[in-house]
Amino acid sequence: MAKKRTTQLLAELKTLASSAADNLYRRIGLAAEVMLDLDWIARTHDGSDLKAHDALQDGYFRDLGGFISLGKLIQMFSKIPVEQWKEVKFDVAAVEIMYNEATSTEPKDGGEKGVRTAWKPLAEERGKQVDRLTEQVKQTGDLATRQTAEIDQLKARICELTRENERLQGRVEELEKMMHRQPVVA
- pLDDT tens digits, residue range 15-44? 777 677 678 888 888 889 988 888 888 998
Indicate the DSSP class of residue 105. Answer: -
70-74, 78-82, 163-167: range with highest mean pLDDT: 163-167
Q: Provide the CA 112 distance to its chain's centre, in angstroms.
A: 27
- CA–CA distance, 11 with 1 (Å, rounded to integer): 16
Q: Which range (20-34, 41-55, 148-162) has the least confidence?
A: 20-34
- The answer to whether 34 touches 40, Cβ cutoff 8 Å, is yes
Domain extent listing, the chain: 10-103, 135-186
92-140 tens-digit pLDDT: 888 888 888 888 766 555 555 666 777 778 788 888 888 988 999 999 8
Q: What is the mean pLDDT of residues 50-76?
A: 86
* Predicted pLDDT at 115: 67
* Predicted pLDDT at 126: 83
Q: Is the model's pLDDT at 161 over the cut of 90?
A: yes
> Given pLDDT bands bounded at 50, 70 and 90, which one contains residue 2?
low
- CA–CA distance, 46 with 186 (Å, rounded to integer): 116
* Predicted pLDDT at 170: 93
Contacts of 94 (CB under 8 A, 6+ apart): 88
Share of the chain above pLDDT 90, in %: 22
* Predicted pLDDT at 186: 60
- The answer to whether 96 touches 76, Cβ cutoff 8 Å, is yes
> Given pLDDT bands bounded at 50, 70 and 90, which one contains residue 9?
confident
